Amino acid sequence: MNERALALCASNAAQAGLANVRCVLADSPDVPLRLDGIWSNPPVRIGKEALHALLSGWLGRLEPAGHAYLVIGRNLGADSLHRWLAGQGWPVTRLAARSGYRLLQVDYQAERAGVSSS
């Protein structure tokens, strides 16, 4: 969402030796049409409607074997976002809850891609 966050992302990826990580703004033309994974602390303070639109766009780019990992503060609506994602049909699992944060895993949604889940 801002240059400081992008710089921190790039620095962390470089320190971890992750040459395949791209740190770009959400609307950048450098964002691939299909994503194997998404790791984000989403910008919940942009408002619910904008956050829902942003996440729908991101999650809709997941490859069939892809996963998104979202870190969200409980006091910033992590549990209601979890319910919203599930209500939208996204397979979502709370992987961890610690120190007031939630780690959610959101998986590819076959029904959104027109693929039967049976």
What burial letters (b/e) apply to 37-71, b meaning 16+ CB within 10 Å?
A: ebebebebeeeeeebeebbeebbebbeeebbbebe
- pLDDT band for position 112 (cuts 50, 70, 90): low
Residue 33 CB partners (closer than 8 Å, separation 6+) = 61
pLDDT digits 0-9 by tens, 91-107: 999 999 999 999 999 99
CATH architecture of 34-113: 3-Layer(aba) Sandwich (3.40)
The continuous run of DSSP H or E covering 93 comes out as strand 92-98
pLDDT digits 0-9 by tens, 49-74: 999 999 999 899 999 999 999 999 99
- pLDDT band for position 85 (cuts 50, 70, 90): very high
pLDDT digits 0-9 by tens, 2-36: 788 889 989 999 999 999 888 887 778 888 889 99
Q: What is the residue extent of each domain of the chain?
A: 1-31, 34-113
Chain centroid, CA 52 distance in Å: 11
Q: What is the pLDDT of residue 117?
A: 42
